[in-house]
Structure formats: structure tokens, C-alpha cells
Amino acid sequence: MDLKRVLQAAFDADASDIHLVSGHKPMMRVHRVMTAMEFDVITPEDGRKILQQMVPAELVKEFDKNKDLDFSYEIEGIGRYRVNAHMQRGTLGFALRTIKTEVPPLASLGLPDVIGRLTYLPRGLVLVTGDTGSGKTTTLAAMIQTMNQRYRKHIITLEDPVEYAFESDKSVVEQRELGADMPTFASGLKHALRQDPDIVLVGEMRDLDTTALAITAAETGHLVLSTLHTVNASQTVERIIDMYPANQQNQIRAMLANTLQAVVSQTLFTRIDKPGMCPGTEILLCTPAVRNLIREARTFEIPNVIETSRNLGMQSLDSSIAELYFNGMIGRDDAIAQAAYPDKLERELAA
């Protein structure tokens, strides 16, 4: 099988992911839909050749030992990919995620204007959350690029892997990749705080050490941007607090109440008016009322604050979905399927 031809075809189709599994034709995901590609079925021998083509011999040995391997791969003129090689039913399989190279302008993403206002924040913690493939990385890259073009500052990104490659504009931008440039996010963040940063992007707050350092960085006057795999603002706050032992949770509630600036929760929809995707977003801005709710362990009241604070720029996911539906951008079934409160939204769309 010719890997370059497969990846070229996926590139031409604007695929976000490519799956190469023995016994199947190559598959690609375009606008969230899996589609078989017009190539021959992949044989077990093909799988081994693909691995040897993509990584050096020492990584082949590492894969043979661990049966899983994460790495980056690039074909000049086509693109870069985040790759996972794995064993399934005794044969090799590959999942390739396309890494976009050109940072899109923030205004082109179809996000609410209030997200642009977040790029003016001098300090604090901003979280962009959502499922895998919900556009978190793209949103954060566009925010970083906006600040890169506006400010004379020092920006450090900690990523797994580096996806969008930034060129320093008015700011100096340094990008560190997990594995190649640092052993862990926590280690990279610890040392980044000694490198005179103004803005720090942490690819994911995936453990307690990283989360604690991110909150400390925000508390000491830095602007910190990061992601979590949570679906709404109240769940995001609870996820962070639940990382800590019970005897530290009151303290972290107070710290989070002081440092958190905003939570943007995203989900992507396939458009019905034209090819492409569009985001539905829930936005929480940390007003004094929200800070009190976090401090007093009343995060279950956050959805009510979001609903009653639209004039400040906040919005619930379901109101965002309803707007997309009434603007003719997404289908009814898709809208209801991804709603936070499907029954309530169904009644609203039928009204």
C-alpha cells in the first residue's frame, strides 16, 4: 500500500483523521463522518511496512516491546500527523490525526465575540473544554496567535505534540513538545515559570501536579490557557477540585475562585447549509457571583447564572445550539442529540 497516496487523498478530502487497520480499506473521518477510501484492503504485511516507513528502527523495537506507540509523522507537501500505532487482533493498526499547520484567524472560527475579549486578559486561568475533536486546540491556537500579533510579550506553549507552529510576531513564542523537549507537562510548566513568561499554554491539565502548577502560575500574575475533557463549565470546576485530596478541597476552591477567568466548552456540528463544521459553545465568565459559588461549593447553581447573564456575554450550550438551528446551520436531530437538556431543547425547537 502506498502511504503517501492515501494521505494525499485524505488531505484532498480535508479529513481530520485517517485509520489504517489490517483487514479493512483505509478509512478517513471527514466532518465527523467515517468514510472508506478507494484503496485496497490493508494486509498484515502492509501494517508492518507502514510502521517501518514512519519511524526509525529504535522506535520499531519500542513498539514491539510495548505494543503501542505515539509519535509525530510528516510528509513534505502534504502535512503533519499525530499518530498512534497499536496492536489489534494480532495485527497492526494506526490512527492518524491531521495536524493543521496554518493558524486560522479567531474571527473565522464562528465563535462568540466574547472569546476575543478573553485575549485582553492580563492574568488568570482560561480553560477551553470539550470532547476529543471538538476544536479546543484550534480555538487556543487562534487566541495565542491573536496575542502574538498584538502584544510584545513572552509566550510559552507546552504541547503533546506541537500542532500549530507559531512564528514570533510582536511576541517571542517558544513551543515545547512532550517527550522531545520535556518529560511531563508538570516538569515543563515548573521550569517555564522560571523562564520569564507572560502567557503560558498548557496542552492539557491531565493530572494533579500539572493542575496545581497551572493554578499557581495564574495566581502569580501569568495568563494561563489550558484544556480539559469536560463538557460544561460546572463539570469543569468540579473536575479540578476532585483532583485534590478531600482535606485540600476548600483551599483549592478559594484559589480557583480567585484565578479562574473563563470556561469555554465546545462541541462541533456538521453543517447542513454548506460543507464544514460549526461550534456550539457554553461560556462561563467569572463574575463576583460565580466566584462566590465556586468558593461556597455551590457549582450546581452555575447553569442558572449562565442563563441569567447573557448580557455579559455568557451563554449555555443549549442556547448556542438553538441559535445554530434557527440560523439554518445544523439539523434538528443533531441539535437535540448533543444538547445538555434534550427534552427541553426539543420543545424549544418545536415552538
Q: Which residue has the higher pLDDT, 250 or 132?
A: 250
pLDDT at residue number 79: 87
Residue 202: pLDDT band with limits 50, 70, 90: very high
Q: What is the mean pLDDT of residues 293-314?
A: 96
Q: How far apart are CA 302 and CA 309, in angstroms?
A: 11
| Pairing, β 17-21 against β 154-159 | unpaired
Residue 198 reports pLDDT greater than 90: yes
C-alpha dihedral sign at 155, 146, 151, 199: negative
Candidates 18, 122, 32; CA nearest to 80 is 18
Cis peptide before 122 (omega within 30 of 0): no
- Give 300's DSSP letter: G
Residue 315 reports pLDDT greater than 90: yes
Return mean pLDDT, the chain. 95
pLDDT at residue number 162: 86
Structural domains present in the chain: 3-99 (3.30.450.90), 106-315 (3.40.50.300)
Strand order through the sheet with 17-21: 33-36, 27-30, 17-21, 91-99, 79-88, 68-75
Q: What is the mean pLDDT of residues 292-304?
A: 96
- Structure pTM? 0.88
